[in-house]
Structure formats: structure tokens, C-alpha cells
Amino acid sequence: MSQRPRISVVLPIYKTAPYLRELHRRLVDTLSPLGGDFELLMIDDGSPDGAWAIIGDLAKDDRRIKGIRLSRNFGQHPAICAGFEHAQGEVIVLMDADLQDPPEVIPMLLEQLRGECDVVYTVKAGDGESPLTRLTSRLYHAAVARITRIPVPRGVGTLRLFTRRMLEALLAYPERNVLYGPLMFFVGFEATVVTVDHQPRPGGRSSYSFRRRLALAVDSILSYTDYPHRFLVKFGVLTLALSLVYAVVLVVRYLLASEPLPPGLTLLALLIVVSLGAVMIGLGIVGMYVFRVYQEVLARPRYVKAGTLNIQEP
């Protein structure tokens, strides 16, 4: 008989300690009627609010609670990675630990996972997010979808459920700077999308500021496309072509119509400044890629563990 639990729920935890007990209770209440064959992976991503003590408490009397403590705050995606690498289940559920994703919908999502389908994504309904957050995440998904040509459902949330086959595909991607948002669409497989109600955050604030969301968008675009490069090349070609045409026009007018060359100091200065700006943007973009290449070459671990609970280390 297989030792695998049927369901692994992966919960990255950062500044969500106040909700952990309720989250745990609601998850257990939801999953127990399904046979109780599950594990909850709680990854403390350097949460400064005493989350680890609560996880310890929960894990003490229930071996289905697996705790992983990271050595510092690594970020949501490295924390998710830690959960994925330790998940044993046949089906993986990924969700936020801040009660914005209601655990009660899991059985419904599980029902969708049949036939050829390997992933069930959820699209957020309801007004759980502020208008600015909604707008920026919509823009983010639209940009990722358009530029990477990966069809991302509009308003897709973190809550999702997928097969072990998908998990193993994700773990096979070696990039250090891993972003599961775009990566899961990049991997593919047949997916179903369902709409679920998204709750307002019960307290605290989202750890994603506008700036952090913007950085995430830039990261996704740089990691999954050569679009910025191609844009630069097109821009360069266009600039060159226009200036050549203009030069030819000037010379022809000078030779045929004896028109004097324009006294173009201002024009010249402007052209230099504009092209300098363009060149600097280009260099900056190339620099961003070089930095990413550098980080990948270093091949640093995605996270460092500082402790585990109810996990058998090999």
C-alpha cells in the first residue's frame, strides 16, 4: 500500500500567525470528511510574529501537520518551493495562509480534477482586494499573458490544486529564481478554471506593496521572454533607419538644390540626448539579464532550512 497521503496543502507563512489556528481548524474540518488522509505543510518564511511557536503547538498533537522553518524571510516563492519539495501527496493544494482563500472550497476543486485535467486554477470573485491591488494584479496578469504568450486566466489567485505529475514537472525546473505564477502556465497540462469567492484580509496588510508587485512583473517578463531585447533591437533599427533617411534627404537637398545644411546645434544636442537615453535604457535591460545570469550561475540554494517538525529527513 502506498504511504502517500492523498492531499498535501502547502501554506507559506509570513506575518499570518494570527490566522493560523483558525486556518488549521477550518482545513481539518474541511479535509477530515474526505477521509482525513492529508498533510498540512506550514512553511515559516522567517515570520516575525511567532508563527513557528504556533506551528509547533499544532504539530505536537497531530503528525499530519508538517512544519518547515526557513532561516530568514526568503519570499513567497522560495517558501512555496520548500513546501513543494517536501509534499508527499497525490494531490497538492497551494493557498495563501491569510484566510483570503477559503479552505472550504477544496472539495469542490478536487471534484474538478478528473479526466485529463492536471490543474485546477481559481479566479477570484468578490471584493477581497482593494481596487488598486485588483488593478495592479490584473495589469500584471495581462502583461504576463501578452508578453510571454502564456494564457493566464484574468484574476487568477494563489489557490490552486494539482496532480503529483504537475508537482514533479515543477520540481524539475532548475532555475534558482523561481516564480510559480508564470512557471505553472509555462509547464502547461490541461487546466480547469473555477471562480471562488475571495475574502478580504482579516487583518494586517498584504506583504505585496505596489512596488513589490511591479518588481514581480518585471521579473516575470525578464525570466520568461526576450521581449525587452527584441523591442530594443526594433527600436534601434527604427532610429537608425530614420536618421539615415534624414541624412540622405539633407545631402540630396544640399547637392541638388544647394540648400545650406541646417544650423542644427539644438537639433544635434537633442538627438544626442535622446539616443543616449535610449542606449542607457538598453544597457540597463542588458544589465538586468546579466545579473539574472549571474544569480543562476551561482546556483545558490533557493532557501535554507532552520528546522522541521514531523518531517523525516533522508
Residues in the chain: 314
Instruction: Please report whether residue 54 would count as binding ligand UDP according to CB under 6 A.
Output: no
Question: From ligand UDP, Mg ion, none, which one binds at residue 162 (CB under 5 to 8 Å depending on kind)?
Answer: none
Instruction: Please give the grid coordinates belonging to residue 271.
Output: 538627438
Residue 308 C-beta: closest distance to ligand UDP, Å: 16
Nearer to ligand UDP, 10 or 228 (CB): 10
Instruction: Please report whether residue 75 would count as binding ligand UDP according to CB under 6 A.
Output: yes
Instruction: Please report whether residue 101 would count as binding Mg ion according to CB under 5 A.
Output: no
* Residues 179 and 136: beta-carbon distance below 8 Å: no
Nearer to ligand UDP, 64 or 124 (CB): 124
Those residues with Cβ within 8 angstroms of residue 189's Cβ, 6 or more apart along the chain or in another chain: 117, 118, 119, 162, 163, 165, 166, 169
* Residues 160 and 184: beta-carbon distance below 8 Å: yes
Nearer to ligand UDP, 64 or 201 (CB): 201
Q: Distance (Å, rounded) from C-alpha 74 to C-alpha 14?
A: 10
State the Rg of the chain over Cα. Answer: 25
Dihedral-angle region of residue 11 (phi above 0 means left; psi in -120 to 50 means alpha; beta otherwise): beta
Instruction: Please report whether residue 82 would count as binding ligand UDP according to CB under 6 A.
Output: no
Q: Distance (Å, rounded) from C-alpha 310 to C-alpha 196?
A: 32
Beta bridge partners of 119: 162, 191
Nearer to ligand UDP, 31 or 216 (CB): 216
Tell me the residue type at 148.
Answer: T
Residue 79 C-beta: closest distance to ligand UDP, Å: 4
Residue 203 C-beta: closest distance to Mg ion, Å: 11
Which of 5, 7, 10, 16 lies at the binding interface for ligand UDP (CB under 6 A)? 16
CA 49 to chain centre: 24
Which of 45, 98, 118, 129 lies at the binding interface for Mg ion (CB under 5 A)? 98
Residue 99 C-beta: closest distance to ligand UDP, Å: 9
Q: Report how many residues bind ligand UDP under the rule CB under 6 A.
A: 16
Which of 96, 101, 118, 129 lies at the binding interface for Mg ion (CB under 5 A)? 96
Instruction: Kindly indicate which of the ranges 66-74, 95-103, 170-178, 225-233 contains the residues binding Mg ion, using the contact rule CB under 5 A.
Output: 95-103
Nearer to ligand UDP, 100 or 122 (CB): 100
Handedness of CA 157, 158, 160, 165 (dihedral sign): positive
Helix-helix angle 20-31:51-60, to 10 degrees:
30
Instruction: Please give the grid coordinates belonging to residue 83.
Output: 513546501
Judged by the rule CB under 6 A, the positions of this chain that interact with ligand UDP are 12-14, 16, 45, 73, 75-76, 79, 96-98, 100, 206-208
Q: Which residues bind Mg ion (CB under 5 A)?
A: 96, 98, 100
